[in-house]
Amino acid sequence: MSICELNKNKAAELALPVGLKPTHAWQCYTLMQHPGLIVIRNPFMALGQRYWMSRCLRDYPQKPNISNLDANPAMADFSTDWWMELQRSTDKQAKQRIKTSMRWTTLGYHHNWDTKVYDEAMHNKFPDDLKALCQFFSLAIGFANYEPQAAIVNYYPIGTTLSGHTDHSELNLKAPLFSFSFGQAAIFLIGGTTVDEKPSALFLRSGDVLVMSEQSRLCYHAVPRILPTDLKPWNDCLPPTKDDDKAVGHCMDTVLYSNVYDDQFWLPFEDYITDSRINVNVRQVLEFGKTEFK
């Protein structure tokens, strides 16, 4: 692996998003055998990790976003506000069932799992804070004009897997795919454009960012194992006092960013993440300059 030179000049055109370490502190790597694959080792500060985990658990599963619960009649009561239902539950077995029921939710353009295509009719507004975060990363690694338009948030209890697949449904396959890991660790495998090629293994920890661009964009990849970790970077190096003045800009939920500093507020999120991993995959669907399918 070799260190990937960050495009600091272009990234400097945007203010550093709240919750990120300055770009000079990032550790960025490429794999020689997988051109276009970039790994950024945890560029998030502790509060940054807490913010994004909270967004993924509390907010992103809510309507009008689509989740796996929508197609399951047995989970219909949980699909409106899954996180609130989880917090309300007092029965241990029921709580565990609700917790593990959430496996994915989609944002922006919603991927149709049956047809494997996107549809203009299945589309709602992409979150502004996640858009700003991805555009900053895009500039930092040298991709201009990136427009985040679709995301899949995956929820992995320990013991679950993701089978080998490629991401080829987008019209724009030149734009990078951003993958953010939070919570427990995972083994990530990436191979080639056929299943016959031997894959390489990466160990992803909480806060790591994986970027698939260029040739790696169409390579088979999988998550064969979620692993427990003793590391909890979302609790490390919290500022000694809460500084609300820093929680501004980049369309963030400033109230949420302030609240995740408080351990009592954070406790239910901590309980969830102790045996689970969250993965946020963001991609550009349309060709540059287009605003809808035609």
Residue-by-residue DSSP string for 12-65: TTSPPPTTB--GGG-EEEEETTEEEEEEEE--B-HHHHHHHHHIIIIITTSTTS
Measured CA to CA, the distance from residue 68 to residue 248 in angstroms comes to: 33
- Answer whether the bond into residue 43 is a cis peptide, omega within 30°: no
From first to last of its 294 residues, what are the pLDDT tens digits of the chain? Answer: 334 555 655 555 567 788 999 988 999 998 888 888 999 999 999 999 999 999 999 999 999 999 999 888 777 677 678 999 999 999 999 999 999 999 999 999 887 766 667 777 788 999 999 999 999 999 998 888 899 999 999 999 988 877 666 765 555 567 889 999 999 999 999 887 777 788 889 999 999 999 988 777 788 878 889 999 989 999 998 877 665 445 455 688 989 999 999 999 999 999 999 999 999 999 988 877 666 665
Measured CA to CA, the distance from residue 159 to residue 82 in angstroms comes to: 21
Known binding-site residue numbers for Fe cation: 165, 167, 221
pLDDT value for 168: 58
Ordered structural domains, the chain, with CATH: 2-68+103-283 (2.60.120.590)
Measured CA to CA, the distance from residue 138 to residue 3 in angstroms comes to: 17
| Per-residue exposure over 167-176, b if at least 16 CB sit within 10 Å of its own CB, e if not | bebbebbebb
Known binding-site residue numbers: 165, 167, 221
Amino acid at 180: F
